[in-house]
Amino acid sequence: MRSLKSGLIAVAVSSLFGTLAMVGCSADGSSDLGDETTDQSPTEPTGGAVLPPSSTGDDNSDSKGTGAKDAGKKDASTKSDAGKDSGPPAPNEGDPCTGATKFTKSCGNCGTQEAYCIGDGTDGGTAGKVGKYSACSEAADACTPGTTTSEACGNCGTLTKTCSNQCKWTSSACNGQPAQSCVPGSVKWDANSMCATGTYTSASCTVSCQWSSWSPTCSKPVNDVVINIPTSVWTSTSPTVTSTPVTFSTARMGDRLGGYSTCPITSSLSSGDYPYGYVEVKNATAKPATVTVFASKDASGRVIDTIMAAYETPFLPIEDAARKKCKWGVNDQSTSDTSLTGNANFSILKSIPIPAGTSILVYVAAYSEYDGSDPTSSTGTFNLNVRTDAFN
């Protein structure tokens, strides 16, 4: 009995030390037990977890940390994926569908197409297939995001237009216009001492938007747009006016007279790219007249917020100092005269005297600077009108 007990005790002690030895080896990493129970590669998930897909070069995974962090980064909006739909893609034509479902998908330049779930009659009408998608519906002036183009502006200047992520054009300022630039083909006049009364020397604007030398001969001024005053006085029963179209475009823009200034102007001009035009208003009758000049819609119905001023002579003012020497204006809105203008944004000049056989020069400009993302706010065609209020 003694020997049997001793043997049992020896086995128990031996087993205890063997167990302690195995635990010690496992703790210091030298045991083969871990290797036997681990037959997955280091990149494989454990416990049923699913690893995110490997990163592309766009998310800078090498420098931004783990794939999980990168996945969070990709969810944030960036310039490259701004405006993109993060939802599932629209189904293709012919794919199975159910219910009264309408599908929309992107196309073209910020456009959309639509399709409906069309029943196939196999289960009482709930099951169906995706029908044919409609034609791409996109804005007529939509552009391809990221596209850039150059456009002439002002006096021999250029501006850059860039298409935004919303498929709309935005424009830079007009750059590259020569100092003291002019509109090619325009003419300015001066009362040179060598000229007889009523005639003047002139200078022409060249194709490079710069002035030529003064002409060696004298002549009478001729403006691009001339309108004669009505030969009869305006009345409510006989509302006679004369009209001429005026077109604002990017080909003729520049600093404008202050919208709230009083002629003659002592303050600086409003700097920027403001479309403008000049119209000579002529009294060809034998009597002095008093007139009203106002802007209104033409057949296109375009409304442009305008300002207006007038000069005592028909000579085109070129330099800033000459432009500031207007006689009437500067007038802005026509709030109390919409019966004439049709819209308060159109400007008006009242009680302007014009001596018999002479002319005045009317300056009209867009109140707002040209904006490539909203060109219709300052460009387009409208009418300039004259009514005769009295013959003196």
Split into its structural domains, the chain has a count of: 4
Q: What is the pTM of this model?
A: 0.54
pLDDT exceeds cutoff 50 at 95: yes
Q: What is the pLDDT of residues 13-33, one digit of tens each?
A: 444 444 444 444 444 444 443
The alpha carbon dihedral of 230, 234, 238, 240 has a sign of positive
Based on the fold, state whether residues 291 and 321 are members of the same structural domain.
yes
pLDDT at 19: 43
Based on the fold, state whether residues 210 and 295 are members of the same structural domain.
no
Q: What is the pLDDT of residues 283-341, one digit of tens each?
A: 999 999 999 999 999 998 999 999 999 999 888 887 788 899 999 999 988 899 999 99
Based on the fold, state whether residues 375 and 285 are members of the same structural domain.
yes
Based on the fold, state whether residues 163 and 239 are members of the same structural domain.
no
The three-class DSSP label of residue 58 is helix
Domain membership flag for residue 87: no
Domain membership flag for residue 111: yes
Domain membership flag for residue 280: yes
Domain membership flag for residue 295: yes
Based on the fold, state whether residues 184 and 172 are members of the same structural domain.
no
Greatest CA separation for the chain:
155
pLDDT exceeds cutoff 80 at 251: yes
Q: What is the pLDDT of residues 150-178, one digit of tens each?
A: 999 989 999 999 999 999 999 998 999 99
Based on the fold, state whether residues 102 and 202 are members of the same structural domain.
no
pLDDT at 345: 94
Based on the fold, state whether residues 355 and 290 are members of the same structural domain.
yes
Q: Which two tokens stand for residue 336?
A: 């109390």
Average pLDDT of the chain, as a whole number: 80
Domain membership flag for residue 378: yes
pLDDT exceeds cutoff 80 at 35: no
Based on the fold, state whether residues 209 and 230 are members of the same structural domain.
no
Q: Which residues contact 390 (CB under 8 A, 6 or more apart)?
A: 233, 289, 290
Based on the fold, state whether residues 236 and 351 are members of the same structural domain.
yes
Q: What is the pLDDT of residues 59-76, one digit of tens each?
A: 443 443 443 334 333 343
pLDDT at 291: 98
Based on the fold, state whether residues 206 and 251 are members of the same structural domain.
no
Based on the fold, state whether residues 121 and 263 are members of the same structural domain.
no
Based on the fold, state whether residues 246 and 149 are members of the same structural domain.
no
Domain membership flag for residue 260: yes
Domain boundary among 166, 199, 221: 221
- Domain region containing 151: 143-177
